[in-house]
Amino acid sequence: MKSFTNPNATWRLGVLGVGALLVGSLAGCAQDMGDLEQKVDKLQARPGGQIEPIPEMKPLPRYAYSVPKDERTPFMPPKEDHVDDGDGLKPDIDRPKEPLEQFPLDALAMRGIINRQNATYALIRDGNGVIHEVMLGDHMGRNYGEVMEIGETSVTLEEIVPDGRGGWKKQTTVVKTQSGRS
């Protein structure tokens, strides 16, 4: 015996099934709401409270703010008090960056020194774990730090940092030896 399914019949059965589910679910919404209506009526029958009127606002006297011309008003930004001392200190932004200048100093660690051919090199581990040989005059860190001294346990840098007033200042920083594998 051959079985034949009519696609329209299947679709109609699906629509009828969904319709039956909707009717059944809406039938649950037809509950007795008399209790709720009584509660609302009781609340609306209670006397309302009195709200005090808003107090009358008395206008304040007008005041004209004036400042002598040579004084700053609090409504204007302060004048720039930075005076260029003429030393022209600023970083050399045209100098090619060295590999260790892409890392902040806290990501660099001194691991030791090497003396070779009458020169002392510091071994510096970068943030990626790579060891670099650094000598006097090399640069490291993001603040244009120049290696000024290499000691047994530290490297002394002279950085050029913003002074907070639109200029630059020199700052001495020391990177000390760190042991371990981190």
User: What are the tens digits of pLDDT across the range 50-108?
Assistant: 888 999 999 999 988 888 888 878 877 776 655 555 567 889 889 999 999 999 999 99
Q: Please tell me the pTM assigned to this model.
A: 0.52
| Calculated CA dihedral for residues 45, 46, 47, 51, nearest 10 degrees | -120
Residues 124/110, Cβ–Cβ less than 8 Å: yes
Residue ranges with strand state E in the chain: 109-116, 119-125, 131-134, 139-140, 145-150, 154-162, 168-176
All domains in the chain, ordered by first residue: 101-176 (2.30.30.830)
Please state, in angstroms and rounded to a whole number, the distance separating the CA atoms of residues 87 and 59. Answer: 57
Distances in Å between the Cα of 124 and the Cα atoms of 52, 99, 162, 182 are: 76, 11, 25, 13
Using DSSP's 3-state secondary structure scheme, residue 145 falls into: strand
| pLDDT at 1 > cutoff 50 | no
